[in-house]
Structure 1
């Protein structure tokens, strides 16, 4: 598990994200302290320190062959609002392999991100699956 890093939910960033995803919902664009769109937490990667510890350790993933397989967000209450300071901790959920067709053997890497508020309460969790294809694209 990573030590955690801060993610400050800023009004401007929430509005930029809502506009970028085509939303016109007033709760994102007009409220003084807007709630986050549920997929906004995907942007937590931009708050990750560049020198932070890698979750991938000895997996030796070939980034040229990585696909974003799926991602889900689970909230343990209402989505947080602008002004909230979250702490993001990440851990490797598991690694499995499966024989593929044209792409050869595939590796499925699950990454779990927990989002804690200032009191340490779990606000949300993201479960993401990355897929490493067995062959480089031709």
Structure 2
């Protein structure tokens, strides 16, 4: 890891995984079926679960405690047509922003915005995933 960027990892866009993801999302869009399917827009979320190594996981980059961390926001940006089955993407995650705000019941809140870039075999940026996580300083206190 250099400064705020985790090591790159490879994402193999597999035909069967696109179909499984579309089915799980209850999508019948024909673009996700057939011999040359594109990925559903939120498919890239799976990269963190299936392809990312321990060294490149966002948690390792931003150091938040998973027991006090919530997923707050997710955004996808495609720079052209979505990736298709058979493509191999190279992904890198970096911290785009980190800041604190005072919360009510959980004390100080730490916000971490992570951007994961997905590049094709030519190195062209094809998609970005922007995520925000929020960590409380401690477990929420009961209101009186």
State the TM-score, normalizing by the size of structure 1.
0.90
Report the equivalent of 1:73.
Answer: 76
TM-aligned CA deviation for residue 135 of structure 1: 2.2
* Aligned residue-pair number: 134
TM-aligned CA deviation for residue 137 of structure 1: 5.0
Q: Give unpaired runs (5+ residues) of structure 1.
A: none
Q: Give unpaired runs (5+ residues) of structure 2.
A: none
Report the equivalent of 1:22.
Answer: 26
TM-aligned CA deviation for residue 26 of structure 1: 1.4
Give the SS at the match of 1:119: coil
- In the alignment, does 2:57 pair up with 1:49? no
Change (3 A) 1:110 1:43: same
TM superposition outliers: structure 1 runs of 4+ over 2 Å: 50-54
- In the alignment, does 2:116 pair up with 1:113? yes
- Alpha-carbon RMSD across the aligned residues, in angstroms, is 1.5
* 1:70-126 C-alpha deviation (Å, 9 max, x unpaired): 010001001011011100011111211001112221000111100000000000011
